[in-house]
Chain A
Amino acid sequence: MKVSRRTFLSIGSFIVGGAAGTALSPLPWKLTDDLSIWTQNWPWTPKPERGDVSYVNSVCTLCPGGCGLSVRKVNDRAVKIEGMKGHPVNDGGICILGLSGLQLLYGPTRVKTPLKRVGERGQGKFKKISWDEALAEAAEKLGALRAEGKSHTVACISGSAGGTVPQLLKRLLTAYGSPNFMSVPTMQDAYAVTLKQMHGIDACPGFDVENADFVLSFGSGIIEGWGSPVRMFKANSAWQDKKIKVVQIESNKSNTAAKAAKWIPARPGSEGVLALGIAHVMLRDGLYKKEACDGAAGFEDFKKWVADNYAPENIAAATGIQKETVESLAKEFAAAASPIALCGRGQGRTPGSQYEFMAVHALNMLAGNINKAGGVQIIPEPKYIAWTEPELDEIAQKGTASPRIDGAGSETYPHAKSLLNRLPQAILTAEGASPVQALLISEANPCYTLSDTQAVKKAFAKIPFVVSFSSYMDESAQNADIILPNHACLERLEDVPTFAGLSKPVIGLSKPVIKPQFDTKHTGDAVIALAKALGDKIAAAFPWESYEACLKETLGDKWEILNEKCFVAAEENIEAPLQFFTQECKTVSAEGDEKQYPFVLMPYDSIRLANGFIGNTPFLTKTVPDTVLKKNEMLVAVNPKSACGDSLSLKEGRSVMLTTPKGSAKVRVHLSEEIMPGVIAVPRGLGHTAYDKYLAGKGVNCNELIGPAEDAGSGLDAVWGIRAKLSNVSI
């Protein structure tokens, strides 16, 4: 049919008129609004049920930060985690990990019942068993080892050393007859050794950053998750508002460096030398607090030693920092009313070089800020856990007297309390049977977090019996023989002593917000049950009916107030005499041959990547930019000016092979001017192989590529990087 011009025009006009009329009516706007609301009501969109709303206060245990939480519940379900208003650590603030903690609570990665391995180690094949069976089996294995006189071959790795649960585990080992209780080392351990050596006391450092007026940070990721993350974020905002100067010394331009008033890119590993260069200027020009330092033990020797060895012009080659910069930095630091120097690289989750810590602490001593407002507070270790010493039977006496497998406390490492980083090598280099015959792991994931994970896994394979108390199917749980799953965070009652650099530390009480959802058991109860099953003096060392009874008794008169407020103040700071030192400040160098490996690989921390025992929540992973993780591929940051030979050209997004003396991995390149030329910056916290599909298979675990570097002073792991090379991917 032929459409006449007239018909065509008429239809056209009708349509145009219709469109005009429709636009003049509410229909399109209302329909758009309704359709968008309709999409919120799709049946698969999760929404909380309607019901009684309540709030429960608790304390977060997802990182050492110790933030107070206020959790909103609808009926029996927790629906939102918020920061607790008025809490001394975070006063209503919360980080993205804490905020998304419900995904760990309700996510698919939980271990729901006790499990027993049925496949090969690490295959992840388990069968469900009952609690009675699981505890009986563990007790039987431990009992047998003890009967053979091998009680000292049992070791325990705990996420932290503080709090009643780690202390119950330690007590179990002691009463059983083993000295091998180890905790996962962090910068707190390096600081503890520092304070022991420079004040002669067992103490923890507190940093009164809220009252400091000049902040000199030696690579501390102030807004990367260092210390207690929410508190540091708040402090950083307050500094910006008050125009307080922050100077960041760090080879790469981290977020902290980007926000700092000044960024000084020193050569990685040379931070301690730089600190002593600053000390040199302060001493030379008389800019130190004389009333604090003159007459202090070792001060004159220190002064001479620093004068002889650390003149700014002499350290320029090692640090890459010009003399003038060091001079002006020292003057600014000394001129401030309450300056503070911080160290602990990135989040401070790995200890670092002892001499670097001591050098930086010396700056604080020279500035006279020890135990002063805005300075470093010296706080004794918490004393609220005052159980009577367990009575030891003969086996236990003999067992606990044998040397520790990790060498901590020995002549070589007199100040270290535990040296977990030395454990894998101790097992691998031992002749004959493994010196560890049974291992208990609580709130730790050594198979992921320790440097040189391949070696760690090899060492673990030599341990005949591994028990994990993990709430999640993490890499270490996957390599265990028996899993005795703990209640998750927000399901369990626990004391949370929080130091994390707080100037006024607190003891928090993490209260259960919801009932345990699965057939899990509090690790405290599991330990008591194991002790009871082992019988005799071991059982007698655990007189409590349950963990709750133990905690209640331990906390004594604090119990009630803790239940009400969820926190009480911990110890106050104590007097600390100064002791200077004169050891040579050895820089810890990166492993590997410079010719073969022209680059230096450095892991970096980010608040968007949880890199410890707790892995990323799906929500957290969503916030990771695609210059770090694109789909499942990890990007490493490289400066475009880096020389990498003729055969390889660096292009954004290009796939390359990253090889270090410890291993190699396929990664993509992200070109960034914020990285020092010659450095490859690798995010820490990716590359999980266990947990669930939301976490596993994304990127590469940087710990697989680096090896531990034992610090000559403390024995702790001081690794900050490793030499590396990039090459074409063979197709």
Chain B
Amino acid sequence: MSTSVDQKKEVSTEVGDGAGGFAILFFLLGLVASLIVGWVAFPKLLYSQKNQPIDFNHELHIGLVDEGCESCHFFREDGTYSGVPKLEQCIGCHEEVQGQSKDEAVFVEQYVKPGREVPWFIYAKQPECVFFSHVAHVKAGGMDCVTCHGHIGESSSLKVYEENRITGYSRDIWGKNISGIKTNTYDRMKMDDCSECHVKKGVNQSSVQTGKGACFVCHK
């Protein structure tokens, strides 16, 4: 009697030990592999990298113009905003090639001379369903450019434009940090970021349904 009981015990311990160890090992393997996929591979796969058609040096230009950012990014008389400058604004200085840079030569030859607008990729372009008015934020709300756009005005070259392969929008909307955590106001520009500020400033908090900012403020 006692023998058979012992034998059984032996067998069961043997199986238990081996399988448990494997289970933990494979669990860890699965965990690590998926963490790598999720944190490292996924963002790489999700975004395609695109270079702007030509490079642009904000730092250099800001030193040359009189009115800071407003020299090129200005409000038209009717209150609309010239977000991405048109050739018209560049032509004044760039009718002829200035300086030595390769991008400058390309700009003048391929765009200025044939009168073709530069197809810039827009980092801050919001989805189609969003109505955004610069004048409401800058003039009425008294905000500065940096709050949303960061220190782009101090950069000496344009960063790579990362396009979300699924949505087609810029990575800057979700933010560089794939986990969506932000440290600066300009790190990301999703709906929550807009509404965070809208709530703080008490923008039309009149939606009866949600008790929050009215949807129609931005979704017209």
> Which of A10-18, A189-197, A642-650 forms part of the interface with chain B?
A10-18
The reply to whether B128 and A47 contact each other, CB–CB distance below 8 Å, is: yes
Q: Mark B11-42, 1 if CB is under 8 A from A, else 0.
A: 00001001100111111111111110111001
Which of B26, B80, B127, B128 is the one whose CB lies under 8 Å from A14? B26
Question: How distant is B180 from chain A, measured CB to nearest CB, in Å?
Answer: 7
Distance of A341 from chain B, by nearest CB (Å): 30
Query: Are the C-beta atoms of B24 and A13 separated by less than 8 Å?
Result: yes
| Bound-state Cα–Cα, A17 to B25, Å | 10
Interface residues of B in 145-160 (CB under 8 A from A): none
Please state if A21 and B32 are interface contacts (CB–CB under 8 Å).
Answer: yes
Find out whether the CB atom of A25 lies under 8 angstroms from the CB atom of B169.
Answer: no
What is the 8 Å Cβ interface bit string for chain B, positions 195-220, against chain A (1 contact, 0 not)?
00000000000000000000000001
CA distance in complex: A584, B174 (Å):
75
B179 beta carbon closer than 8 Å to chain A: yes
Taking the complex as formed, is A75 at the interface, i.e. its CB lies under 8 A from any CB of chain B?
Answer: no
How long is the Cα–Cα vector from A37 to B127 in the complex, in angstroms? Answer: 8
A668–chain B nearest beta-carbon distance, Å? 30
Chain B proximity of A1: nearest CB distance (Å): 18
Asked whether any CB of chain A lies closer than 8 Å to the CB of B194, the reply is no
State the CA gap A80–B216 with chains docked (Å): 11
- Interface SS of A by simple majority: helix
Q: A14-B29, A21-B30 are in contact. Are A40 and B38 (CB under 8 A)?
A: no
A5 interface hit (Cβ, 8 Å): yes
A12:B23 contact, CB within 8 angstroms:
yes
Report the Cα distance A40→B26, complex, angstroms.
40
Whether the pair A26, B34 counts as a contact (CB closer than 8 A) is no
A14–B35 touching, CB < 8 Å: no
Q: Is B167 an interface residue (CB 8 A)?
A: yes
- The answer, yes or no, to whether A586 is at the interface (CB within 8 Å) is no
The chain A residue with its CB closest to the CB of B190 is A33
CB-defined contacts of B164 to chain A, threshold 8 Å? 34
Q: Which of B24, B30, B39, B128: most chain A CB closer than 10 A? A: B30
Instruction: Return chain A residues, CB-CB under 8 Å to B140.
Output: none
CA–CA, A240 and B117, complex, Å: 57
Q: How far is the CA of A93 from the CA of B208 in the complex (A)?
A: 14
Contact B30 A16 (CB under 8 A): yes
Taken together as a complex, chains A and B put the C-alpha atoms of A19 and B129 apart, in Å, by: 34
Which A residue's beta carbon lies closest to that of B34? A21
User: With a CB–CB cut-off of 8 A, which chain B residues contact A12?
Assistant: 23, 26
Q: How far is the CB of A20 from chain B (nearest CB, A)?
A: 6
Q: Let me know if A29 and B42 touch, CB within 8 A.
A: no
Contact of A19 among B22, B34, B127 (CB under 8 A): B34
User: A30 and B180 in contact (CB under 8 A), knowing A24-B38, A40-B128, A48-B128?
Assistant: yes
A72-B22 Cα distance, complex, nearest whole Å: 65
Decide if B22 touches A53 in the complex (CB within 8 Å): no
Kindly provide the distance from the CB of A103 to the nearest chain B CB, expressed in whole angstroms: 16
Bound Cα distance A37, B165 (Å): 11
Inter-chain contacts of B27 with A (CB < 8 A): 13-14, 16-17, 20
Judged by a CB distance under 8 angstroms, whether B64 is at the interface is no
Complex Cα distance, B24 from A11, in Å, reads 11
Interchain CB contact under 8 A, B167 and A5: no
When chains A and B are docked, how far (Å) is the Cα of A5 from the Cα of B18? 11
B60 to chain A, nearest CB (A): 30
Inter-chain contact B30/A13, CB cutoff 8 Å: yes
Using A9-B23, A34-B46, A47-B128 as known contacts, say yes or no to A17 and B31 having CB atoms under 8 A apart: yes
Contacts of B29 on A, CB cut-off 8 Å? Answer: 14, 17
**B93 part of interface (Cβ distance < 8 Å):** no
Neighbouring A residues of B168 by C-beta, 8 Å: 41
Assess whether B65 is interfacial by the CB under 8 Å rule: no
Q: Is the CB of A6 within 8 A of B180?
A: no
Residues of B within 8 A of A72 (CB): 220
Given A13-B24, A27-B37, also A37-B166 (CB < 8 A): yes
B15 touches A10 (CB 8 A): no
Contact of A22 with B by CB under 8 A: yes
Q: Tell whether A30 pairs with B46 under 8 Å between CB atoms, given A6-B22, A9-B23, A47-B129.
A: yes
Q: Mark A524-556, 1 if CB is under 8 A from B, else 0.
A: 000000000000000000000000000000000
Task: Say yes or no: A30-B178 contact (C-beta < 8 A), given A16-B27, A18-B30.
Answer: yes
Structural contact, B34 and A18, CB atoms closer than 8 A: yes
**A38 lies within 8 A of B166 (CB):** yes
Do B38 and A79 have beta carbons less than 8 Å apart? Answer: no
Assess whether B38 is in contact with A10, with CB atoms less than 8 Å apart. Answer: no
Residues of chain A with a CB closer than 8 A to B169's CB: 37
| Alpha-carbon distance between A14 and B80 when the two chains are bound, in angstroms | 56
In the bound complex, CA of A72 to CA of B166 (Å): 30
Residues in B with CB closer than 8 Å to A258 are none
Closest A-chain residue to B15, C-beta based?
Answer: A5
* Complex contacts, B166 vs chain A, CB 8 Å: 31, 34-35, 37-38
- Cα A19 to Cα B34 with chains together (Å): 7
* A80 touching B220 in the complex, CB below 8 Å, given contacts A10-B26, A13-B22, A21-B32: yes
Q: A33-B174, A34-B166, A34-B167 are in contact. Are A27 and B30 (CB under 8 A)?
A: no
B129 / chain A contacts, CB cutoff of 8 Å: 40, 47
A557 at interface, CB cutoff 8 A: no
| Nearest CB of chain B from residue A227's CB, rounded to whole Å | 23
- A41 CB contacts on chain B under 8 angstroms: 127-128, 167-168
Residues of B within 8 A of A411 (CB): none
A337 to chain B, nearest CB (A): 31
In whole angstroms, how far apart are the Cα atoms of A29 and B39 in the complex?
A: 12
Query: Do residues B127 and A18 form an inter-chain contact, with CB atoms below 8 A?
Result: no
A82 to chain B, nearest CB (A): 8
Give Cα A80–Cα B131 distance, bound, in whole angstroms. Answer: 11
- Of the candidates B23, B46, B78, B178, the one whose C-beta lies within 8 Å of that of A13 is B23
Interface contact B26-A11, CB-CB below 8 Å? yes
User: Which of A11, A25, A48 sits near B38, CB closer than 8 Å?
Assistant: A25
Chain A residues near B15 (CB-CB < 8 A): 5
Query: Shortest beta-carbon distance, B192 to chain A, in Å?
Result: 11
> Is the beta-carbon distance between B180 and A25 smaller than 8 angstroms?
no
Taken together as a complex, chains A and B put the C-alpha atoms of A29 and B167 apart, in Å, by 14
For the complex, is A52 an interface residue (Cβ under 8 Å from B)?
yes
Q: Which of B30, B78, B128 contacts A15 (CB 8 A)?
A: B30
Give the residue name and chain of the B residue nearest to A24 (CB).
Answer: B35
Known: A6-B18, A13-B24, A72-B220. A37 touches B167 (CB 8 A): yes
Indicate which residue in B38, B46, B78, B180 contacts A22 across the interface (CB closer than 8 Å).
B38
The answer on a CB contact under 8 Å between A18 and B18 is no
What 1/0 flags go to A45-58 for Cβ under 8 Å of B? 00110001110000
> A10: which B residues are within 8 A, CB to CB?
22-23, 25-26
Bound: A9/B23 CA distance, A: 6
Bound-complex Cα distance A596 to B128 (A): 61
Whether the Cβ atoms of A21 and B33 lie closer than 8 Å is yes
CB distance from B85 to the nearest CB of A (A): 16
B19, A6: Cβ atoms closer than 8 Å: yes
> Which residue, of B15, B31, B164, B174, has the highest number of chain A Cβ atoms within 10 A?
B31
Interface centre among B28, B167, B179 (most CB of A within 10 A): B167
Q: Which of A13, A29, A30, A79 contacts B26 (CB 8 A)?
A: A13
CB distance from B43 to the nearest CB of A (A): 8
Q: Which residues of A have CB within 8 Å of B32?
A: 17, 21
Residue of A30, A35, A52, A72 with most chain B CB atoms under a 10 A cut-off:
A30
A-B CB contact pairs (8 Å), 17 listed:
A9-B22, A13-B24, A13-B25, A14-B27, A17-B30, A18-B30, A18-B34, A26-B39, A30-B42, A34-B167, A35-B166, A37-B167, A38-B167, A40-B129, A41-B127, A52-B80, A54-B78
Known A9-B22, A25-B39, A26-B38; further 12 A-B contacts with Cβ < 8 A: A11-B26, A13-B23, A13-B30, A15-B30, A18-B31, A20-B31, A25-B34, A27-B42, A34-B166, A38-B167, A41-B167, A80-B220
The 4 closest A-B pairs by CB, nearest first: A25-B38, A17-B30, A21-B34, A18-B30
